[in-house]
């Protein structure tokens, strides 16, 4: 059922985030990974980082205090190594990241299905401007 009453952008932003998280949960929890875990693995797949660096980079997504908990979980389950040089993916973490990359791609593809590149760019630019206006 589609509700034809207009809803504000905040409603749609929260609804989209909830739906993305739900899809992530369905597709990746069998590997023992949450959406936040994936975000951390994805950052560390690019380069080593620090706890502070990860928290800074995920701050726009992480108003729930879950980043430190996710980091500890990933270290405890052997997917992330914490050394004096910072945080890096372990072999197990690299395998999990590699295995999940295709699944995450499917979520992203489904999210933008039926939206051409121009409309997508305008949508992202519009949301970015709204954020800039409020910062």
pLDDT for the residue numbered 64: 72
pLDDT on residue 87: 96
Q: Is the pLDDT of residue 86 over 80?
A: yes
Residues contacting 59, CB < 8 A, separation 6+: none
Please tell me the predicted confidence (pLDDT) of residue 1.
45
3-state secondary structure of 88: strand
What structural domains does the chain harbor? 31-109 (1.10.10.10)
What does the alpha-carbon distance between residue 30 and residue 54 come to, in Å, rounded to a whole number? 24
SS3 call for 1: coil
Could you tell me which residues come within 8 angstroms of residue 70 by beta carbon, excluding any fewer than 6 positions away? 34, 36, 37, 40
Contacts of 84 (CB under 8 A, 6+ apart): none
Token pair in block for residue 87: 């945080």
Q: How confident is the model at residue 84 (pLDDT cuts 50, 70, 90)?
A: confident
Question: What value does the mean pLDDT take over residues 96-107?
Answer: 90
Indicate whether 88 pLDDT > 90: yes
Summarised one tens digit per residue, pLDDT across range 8-40 is 999 999 999 899 888 888 888 778 888 889 999
The stretch 79-102 carries a mean pLDDT of 93
Percent pLDDT > 90 in the chain is 60
Q: Which residues of 5-17 are buried (b: 16+ CB within 10 A; e: fewer)?
A: eeeeeeeeeeeee
Separation between Cα atoms, residue 51 and residue 55, nearest integer Å: 6
Specify the pLDDT at position 60. 80
């Amino acid at each position: 059922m589609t509700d034809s009453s207009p809803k504000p952008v905040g409603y749609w932003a929260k609804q989209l985030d909830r739906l993305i998280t739900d899809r992530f949960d369905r597709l990746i929890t069998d590997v023992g990974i949450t959406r936040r875990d994936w975000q951390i693995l994805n950052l560390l797949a690019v380069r080593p980082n620090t706890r502070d660096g990860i928290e800074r980079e995920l701050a726009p997504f992480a108003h729930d205090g879950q980043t430190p908990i996710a980091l500890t979980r990933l270290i405890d389950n052997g997917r992330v190594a914490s050394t004096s040089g910072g945080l890096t993916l372990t072999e197990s973490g690299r395998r999990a990241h590699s295995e999940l990359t295709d699944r995450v791609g499917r979520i992203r593809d489904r999210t933008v299905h039926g939206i051409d590149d121009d409309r997508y760019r305008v949508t992202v630019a519009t949301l970015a401007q709204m954020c800039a206006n409020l910062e």
